[in-house]
Amino acid sequence: MSIPELKSWRTPGPPPPRTLTPMPHPEFVGLVNSLQATAEAALGDLNAATASAARDGLLQEGRARQTAERSLKLLTMLAEKTRGNLDFAEADLLTEAVSSLRERLNTSSHNASPQDN
């Protein structure tokens, strides 16, 4: 007994283009947003969620920059390790987070006054 072919339900030609962009994986989005929010809080973007960290001294200037740099390094590593394996929305989210934090860190280092003299 042979298996009947099921080609009759398919239309000839290439498949129709996708109209919906797939949603990024929620855990991935959460990870990227968490790392970005940590860095932004360390750079001074305080909100209700980060106010307690400021009260606890976790956002002191030297420590804050280290926190922001660490988050940027983690996001950069994540971008390198996932290159070619993300959908467009995930790749765009990650690229924007890395670019934004890199720019903020560069800006804050140029605005800092020299401490040696």
Nearest to 41 by CA among 33, 80, 112: 33
Tell me the pLDDT band of 8, cut-offs 50, 70 and 90: very low
pLDDT at 58 over 50: yes
State both tokens at 42.
């360390």
Specify the pLDDT at position 5. Answer: 44
For tokens 């996708």, the residue is 18
Nearest to 94 by CA among 107, 69, 77: 77
More confident residue, 54 or 106: 106
Tell me the pLDDT band of 77, cut-offs 50, 70 and 90: very high
- The domain locations on the chain are 25-46+56-107
Q: In angstroms, rounded to a whole number, what is the distance separating the alpha carbons of residues 111 and 117?
A: 16
The model's pLDDT over 86-103, given as tens digits with 9 standing for 90+, comes to 999 999 999 999 999 999
Q: In angstroms, rounded to a whole number, what is the distance separating the alpha carbons of residues 75 and 91?
A: 11
For tokens 């605005």, the residue is 111
